[in-house]
Chain A
Amino acid sequence: MSASLERGLNAFKEQIDAPVAAFFSSCVRCGLCAEACLFFTETSSPKYTPIHKLEPLRRVWKQEYTFWGRLAKSLGLSKPVTDAELTDWETLVYDSCTMCGRCSMVCPVGNDIAYMIRKMREGMAAAGHAPPDLIGATQRAVTIGSPMGVKLPALQAQIRHAEADLGFSIPVDVEGADYMLLLSSMEIMNFPEFISAIARIFKHANVSWTISSEAFEATNSGIQIGVSEIAAELVERIVTAAGKLKVKYVISPECGHAYMAVRWEGPNLIGRPYDFKVVHILELLDELREQGRLKTAGKETQRLTYHDPCQVARRGGVVQQPRNLLNMVAKDFVEMPETGTMNWCCGAGGGVSSNERADTLRLKTFNRKKKQLDAIHPDAIVSACSNCRIHLEDGLEEYGMDMPVLSLTETLAEHLAGSEQAGSKE
């Protein structure tokens, strides 16, 4: 057995806990999870059945943690997991799963399949079977501080642009602020309007906030690739910066997996609770709305729908807030069929969008979103994840659909009461 395979199998063993054992013990091969997965529904290829993507992990569980499996193994009756097999499974685990967790909502025996995929990736990465693009992104996250290679000067340039537009300054490294805002590289590079939007809303609602020059990246490639040590290191950077600036809250931006990483996985990765709270930007905005600090004027007349980012809604618990907020500014807000915690993934989460090898498949599975949209014919889609947003734009273009994709935060900023409207917008 090669050293890397041994490392991988050991990582599998370490990852297996009581829930995983209960899940594998319960699977009756009914196949219902296939119909919950857009990689199956849009390809009709049985190999994309969610539970099948876990087969090597299942065998390790059986051979190591069940009496009969161990007996069979000691008698040489069981088939060991091989390197060649993990090579075959690499595309199943990384290219054809966004860890959206829709299958986990549908499985009749209650298996949380996405929970297990997340764990399986730890073993895959340890065995040297992670996609090259994700390895690259993770290396950039560690060495440069951003999976896309965005450095501080790039952020500073965007902040200066925003300040020129806004006519007031954006707080950076302000000690004692209440909130520390994180950003995803994609927001910095592709959607810098997000920074101005936040600045305008926070000024309007009188929120004390800051950006840290030392830890502004919200995303966590360590989680997508499945290397907990790296994921923990990236979380530590945020924790250190938050401590230095003595903030009470850290804000996760419009990014699904960043929220999951910093809100739900973070403390478990670093092995201790935070001494600050983490809020998703939509949670905070809804709180401001409730307190009457967020006031809007005018409504969008176009027909709007909301795409729930999986890690924000189904895996994150932020479901009602965006609807409350959207109703403030939308005259014609219409839900897609199967929405909220049952929404269909855009097809690009969980590292799929950073993995060029998966591009064709990613665009093919967008057909699922198309079907959802075709049922209601909105004029525009609102969402709260820049990764979803980029892929939605990509998919809409691929399928010849002319439909803008908006950020909920930016849409709200455009309707702030008492502001001299977005005249200064580029």
Chain B
Amino acid sequence: MSETELLLWVRGPALQIATAIFLLGIVVRIVEILMLGRKKNLAEARGSAVAGGLRTMFSRSIPDRGTLQRSMFNVVAGYVFHIGFFVVLFLFAPHILLFQDVTGVSWPALPTPVVDATAVVTMIALLAVLVHRLLNPVMRFLSRFQDYLVWLVTILPVVTGYLAFHRVDVVPPPTLIVVHILSVELLMVIFPFTKLMHAFTLFMARYYNGAIAGYKGVNS
């Protein structure tokens, strides 16, 4: 297979397979959760479960003051790498072109130098998060193989994308792009089977949490 053929395969069939696994996997996971159902609450409500649920879906994005004080690093580093990752993924012009190719939808990009700087910040934040996971006694205690795997699979697209953009000469440019796209496909493929699912299920979790509390008249 020539380099061009490889690039075409990676951008074509491989991307389609990865997308299929990604989407199907997410649907299966969500259906698995919903199918378990939950019992109707027979206690007389004091507040609205739905309002509480919707409220907590958003309000939980902001940490309470005590948590912020006690876990400042964890919260800030977490915020930075999440926002950074989304900026690089969704606001980089070439990425938007790809999304437009696939979905027909387009949106304005951030200036490339801004995205470039964001990528650097994201990589630093991800490294910091890893070091924190290794050094913090609670996080080290809780961590499993999957946590490190997911970390690696998350940082790979950022690193390879950064190298590809800057045409770092470790390998010829087309190969860098191939590796970059493959790393994204790897992320998509493992997504439904790992904690990466939280990107979707956290809204369900927050809803349930807020609904349970809201029913009792508590803002959670």
Contacts and interface: CB of A to CB of B under 8 A. Distances in A.
A108 B138 contact: no
B141 A47 contact: yes
B42 A342 contact: no
A110 B210 contact: yes
Interface string A144-179: 000000000000000000000000000000000000
B36 A17 contact: yes
Q: Interface range on chain A: under 10, 10 to 19, 20 to 34, or 35 or more?
A: 35 or more
A271 interface: yes
Interface residues of B, number: 60
Interface string B180-220: 00000000000001010110011011111110110011111
B205 to A, nearest CB: 4
B142 A111 contact: no
A317 B202 contact: no
B43 A22 contact: no
B43 A46 contact: no
Contacts of A22: 33, 201, 204-205, 208
Interface string B72-100: 00110010000000000000000000000
| Interface residues of chain B: helix, strand, loop or mixed (majority) | helix
A49 B197 contact: no
Interface string B53-78: 00011001101111100110011001
A18 B38 contact: yes
Contacts of B217: 317
B3 interface: no
A19 B193 CA distance: 18
Given A31-B74, A66-B32, A316 B216 contact: yes
B36 A341 contact: no
B48 to A, nearest CB: 12
B142 A32 contact: no
Contacts of B65: 338
A40 to B, nearest CB: 7
B28 interface: yes
Interface stretch (A131-139, A188-196, A259-267): A259-267
Contacts of B143: 29
Given A17-B37, A341-B219, A66 B29 contact: yes
B44 interface: yes
Contacts of B78: 30, 108
Contacts of B195: 26-29
Contact of B42 (A67, A112, A272): A272
| Interface residues of chain A: helix, strand, loop or mixed (majority) | helix
Given A66-B32, A265-B43, A272-B42, A19 B138 contact: no
A317 B216 contact: yes
Contacts of B141: 46-47, 49, 52
A338 B42 CA distance: 32
Contacts of B37: 17-18
B137 interface: yes
Nearest to B218: A317
Interface in A363-416: none
A76 interface: no
A267 B56 CA distance: 25
Nearest to A19: B208
Contact of A17 (B38, B207, B218): B38
Interface in A1-58: 16-23, 25-32, 34-36, 40-41, 44, 46-47, 49, 51-52
Contacts of B219: 341
Nearest to B57: A110
Given A110-B206, A338-B66, A31 B136 contact: yes
B65 to A, nearest CB: 8
A271 B212 CA distance: 18
A17 B36 CA distance: 5
Contact of A52 (B46, B142, B218): B142
A109 B67 contact: no
A341 B36 CA distance: 29
Contact of A18 (B33, B63, B202, B210): B33
A35 B198 contact: no
**Candidate in B35, B39, B75, B137 with the most chain A CB atoms within 10 angstroms:** B137
Interface of A: 16-23, 25-32, 34-36, 40-41, 44, 46-47, 49, 51-52, 65-68, 104-112, 115, 263-268, 271-274, 277-278, 314-317, 319, 338, 341-342
10 contacts: A17-B39, A26-B205, A31-B136, A35-B66, A110-B202, A110-B205, A110-B209, A112-B220, A268-B43, A342-B66
Closest 4 CB pairs of A and B: A110-B206, A317-B217, A46-B141, A19-B208
